[in-house]
Structure 1
């Protein structure tokens, strides 16, 4: 649908910030206020506060309204991701009041939804679009105060008293200063560091944060130090129980720049003069001003309109681009992690729905199901590994998405993140009620504890963390050739007889010889045979173990063995850890692991052919590489480890490719 000016705005949530934005729209050049959505449409003050707008009953109503082009989301922080995603799915452009979401993972989910929908999504840091901000960038970049060395920025105010249920304090509403106002000094510091390097922003290489917490576990006062790779150090602070200096200060080799109330452009919402104070080394002062401007919020309303009319999906700098918003959110994540803040609304007892606020849905078909020998349930064609997540809220985003696309094999291990990912999965499957639909891989006995008596002990702990009484598939994570293989078979067979392993067991990083020996022992002594393997398998052969004790199954001999025995292999590093992306290349040798593990002529020939075939198919080489693992003539189940929704959906394009046996042979060369 073609959209023309003026952009017709709707607002979700009629609070104080919505009133400010309404005045900004009225003062904008390209927008008009069309409607406001509220859960209390009978409230009389709405007619006074938003006289131009139609009052809609419920937030969903504005998503269906054909006369609304763009939506400003002014709910409490906890509603930002949900309604931004729902708006994108409804084809609406969105401007989200800061913070864009509770975490960088949620910000990424919003961006992913906007990309898929082809809609605009932006974070409403209004000061970044005021002319003062562009002037500040020019002063810094031109060397007005010489080489920038230190930045300090604060935003703090004094609430009268602690009110646990108030939005500012409540953990259920993601209260505290870091999310409410801490994003301003962080964005300011990153903006200044970027200007000093001629860039729109710069992400810090190190963040160290702290905070004073209240009885809700949210922050009353907080401070952090940011270190940038251009040598700049920044000190940022925020508070909801103290009036801070509230100045952005930039110290250079030849002077200092000060910007009082930088988030208000040195004025107020109605429009400041955009004054910037320059203090020279000799103590003399100069004030630079961009002059009286229109309403502060009008600039962001017009910047959104300009982007929409130009067909862009994100702000242009100095507005908060997607990369800028993600970088800001990552700093805030680290800050509150250092301070020990996890909001109650992020925990499994409260986060029972998906990121879009809906119950988890089964029946997805993007990932096809298959039968795996020994596994009693229909199983997805790929398995999900998720050892990189450190909070329930972040991990649940990917777990939900994988399940809703049809995935149901989950790769866990006793050793991953010291057991945290097992705990995360346990909380997830319990809160979603999907244990009997899930195929859970458990792994134990990793180096150096590769002994038979470890298996039962670690499995007991794993089952407790996973909140279940069995795993569907079990692997020893490593092998110990000093121990007779029969002792390992006996230990795993005992767990099968107890019902704690209900499907195949076997080894991860086991040799063919050892596996055959284990099968022979089991047959001779009436034990369950080992029935599954988890070795590396990819289109590129692993030349040198990635980690000590790793074994590849990508050689010709391995493939003949797997085909003859029809042993299911759950393949880790199935896409060769980036070898089929532009991170690799004959002339790219800066990644020591990549060079050591994958670089030889045969692998590069396979990479060349994957690139050639991908171009013919309109896909990427990594899709061809994953399709190759899926196309084997033995049960081959790739383990994939996406960190974001985009990486997940991108990997699944491999299912669009059905390689013929001839294509498989050609890829192998």
Structure 2
């Protein structure tokens, strides 16, 4: 393990109330020293520095956040601005090489939290969400008692953090434009505590709930003034959490088990100078467990020094913060709270604060082999069918562009049209229409006919806020209609400039060849690409009616002979290379489509090669598709930035022809 840092020079961004607490306790840290402060209000920064400096000029004053991030004498930054600035400032600090502790919430949503965590990983810097209570010995002791079975099997957790504040509408807590309200300001505390307890009960650092129901009051302010939520965990543990900014509560944690209960009377802000305590009650009596006083903000700061090399502390790690953000998203959604800047038509800015652009370390490869499409196309195409909100889509798409991606695959039917709208709004927000390749699909069964192509294309272009698609694919074929009728209408749309090139998705090779022959005989534009299932795992069946695969030996020979451009979907076999197990037949679709002796042998070989190359088997599966002798542009549909990163590792694997044949049992 790398050595811990001996000294950490701190800068504070946003000298507000919570920053005062951090600065007051930092002198009790074994490693930290405050050296700089930045504020948009210079007078406020000077007053803050004067309050905490040990000698005149001991704390430098920066009149901009960028200036503090550029300060070579600052090692770590404590960010305590309003919620809506957390993501941008944290990423900028990480990109500047600083370690970061950011006030909670790390982001207003899970999407922003993903972007922040990825920035920490990319820069090799420490990142923590400032849940300082997680470092206090009383919470550590609580987890130990639970893990040791002090109250038997944990059954239920009650946790609350609520207060009554009579504040003006413009105050950050009452302002929806600043992500005000209780859930984001204090609701994360009881949620994180419930997840901490549920994790300790099963020997883990945390656990995520499998379901959530909630009630709350969104007042005239447009923010949640109080809210409650009920959580259920996979272990069977339940939790009830409460928060509010216009409602007083006990503000404690109560853990009930089969043999007793534990109460934490002051879980969030215990006295740093007086002992705190836990109340342990069982059938044989009640015990008060005294905990030595501790400076929890100082302990939080010392964790940066101790875990700088690892990038995260076990007390509050990246996955923990991501899970907490996801629950807060669900809580807000359950009570119908959406901030104005989150709307599906909003101009959501990039998380980094600047327009997305390919990073210097991106390894994306490109091809320009689709006739009629005079653009470089990234060899990986992001599927636009797993995005939940514009915020989520923006984070995913921005990250893909920064990794060198520029091609997006969507369809008329995805999300009832919502996926096309999300992609179109993101493209418009970023001004990237000329830089990206949009692949659209239409004419899905039962509306697979020439008239539906034109009608649906009208709607698709309107949703996408563009006048053309770079590539249009028929989503299905209708073999009851002569192929020439489809070629005629697609050629007509091409000549009208509404599509640049076209092809077929889930078309048979026979019908595809018929379409080419008709186009050649009648002076029409040809099909440019085929999008069927293809991958290392050979398909025994297809997941949806009307789908086609080209994984058989004869199919591959045709693709190699003709050089047809293939945009394969499910190139990683819908999770087969990530989680397939002969003994696990719980996923009926995976079993039906891929469980065979030959495919399990392919999986074994992929795992063997993955171990040799230091990558995941899914990366080998993707590298196999990219290594074909015919042009391939695999579609993939990540749900998180982490899934994007791990999938794209396949770009860095170059397989030899011998390895390709060996993986596919041909050598």
2:217 counterpart of 1:221: no
After superposition, the C-alpha distances for 1:361-420 in whole angstroms (9 at most, x for unaligned) are 368763233212222322222211131111111111121122233221110111112222
After superposition, the C-alpha distances for 1:445-501 in whole angstroms (9 at most, x for unaligned) are 223333333222222221111111211111121223333333333343333243222
Q: Secondary structure at the match of 2:173?
A: coil
Q: Secondary structure at the match of 1:571?
A: coil
After superposition, the C-alpha distances for 1:307-341 in whole angstroms (9 at most, x for unaligned) are 23xx332112xx21222222211111111122222
Equivalent residues in 2 for 1:335-354, closer than 5 Å = 335-347=331-343, 351-354=347-350
Unaligned runs of 5+ in 1: none
Query: After the TM superposition, which of the residue ranges 38-47 and 229-238 deviates more from structure 2?
Result: 38-47
Equivalenced residue count is 657
Q: Residue 594 of structure 2 corresponds to which residue in structure 1?
A: 598
Given the alignment, which residue of 272, 275, 284 partners 1:273?
275
Cα drift, residue 37 of structure 1: 2.1
CA separation of 1:416 and 1:227: change in aligned 2, threshold 3 A: same
TM score, norm. by length of structure 2: 0.92
Whether the 8 Å contact between 1:398 and 1:645 is mirrored in structure 2 is yes
After superposition, the C-alpha distances for 1:25-47 in whole angstroms (9 at most, x for unaligned) are 11222322222222233434223
2:571 counterpart of 1:574: yes
Moved over 6 A (4+): none
CA distance in 2, matches of 1:662, 1:196: 49
Given the alignment, which residue of 223, 229, 239 partners 2:244?
239
Whether the 8 Å contact between 2:363 and 2:652 is mirrored in structure 1 is no
Whether the 8 Å contact between 1:271 and 1:296 is mirrored in structure 2 is no
Whether the 8 Å contact between 2:348 and 2:391 is mirrored in structure 1 is no
CA distance in 2, matches of 1:564, 1:136: 66
Q: Residue 110 of structure 1 corresponds to which residue in structure 2?
A: 116
Q: Residue 626 of structure 2 corresponds to which residue in structure 1?
A: 630
CA separation of 1:613 and 1:188: change in aligned 2, threshold 3 A: closer
CA distance in 2, matches of 1:501, 1:663: 38
Q: Secondary structure at the match of 2:592?
A: helix
Whether the 8 Å contact between 2:4 and 2:307 is mirrored in structure 1 is no
Cα drift, residue 434 of structure 1: 0.9
CA separation of 1:48 and 1:400: change in aligned 2, threshold 3 A: same
Equivalent residues in 2 for 1:294-373, closer than 5 Å = 294-308=294-308, 311-316=309-314, 319-347=315-343, 351-361=347-357, 366-373=363-370
Unaligned runs of 5+ in 2: none
Whether the 8 Å contact between 1:352 and 1:431 is mirrored in structure 2 is yes
Q: Residue 186 of structure 2 corresponds to which residue in structure 1?
A: 181
Query: After the TM superposition, which of the residue ranges 364-373 and 378-387 deviates more from structure 2?
Result: 364-373
Q: Secondary structure at the match of 2:357?
A: coil
CA distance in 1, matches of 2:648, 2:153: 48
Equivalent residues in 2 for 1:452-601, closer than 5 Å = 452-503=450-501, 505-581=502-578, 583-585=579-581, 589-601=585-597
CA distance in 1, matches of 2:278, 2:651: 56
CA separation of 1:597 and 1:306: change in aligned 2, threshold 3 A: same
Cα drift, residue 280 of structure 1: 5.0
Q: Residue 617 of structure 2 corresponds to which residue in structure 1?
A: 621
CA distance in 1, matches of 2:108, 2:391: 9
Q: Residue 104 of structure 2 corresponds to which residue in structure 1?
A: 98
CA separation of 1:301 and 1:351: change in aligned 2, threshold 3 A: farther
Cα drift, residue 618 of structure 1: 4.6
CA separation of 1:507 and 1:21: change in aligned 2, threshold 3 A: same
CA distance in 1, matches of 2:607, 2:286: 60
CA distance in 2, matches of 1:3, 1:558: 57
Whether the 8 Å contact between 1:19 and 1:49 is mirrored in structure 2 is no
Q: Secondary structure at the match of 2:422?
A: helix
Given the alignment, which residue of 174, 187, 209 partners 1:204?
209
Cα drift, residue 662 of structure 1: 4.2
Q: Secondary structure at the match of 1:569?
A: coil
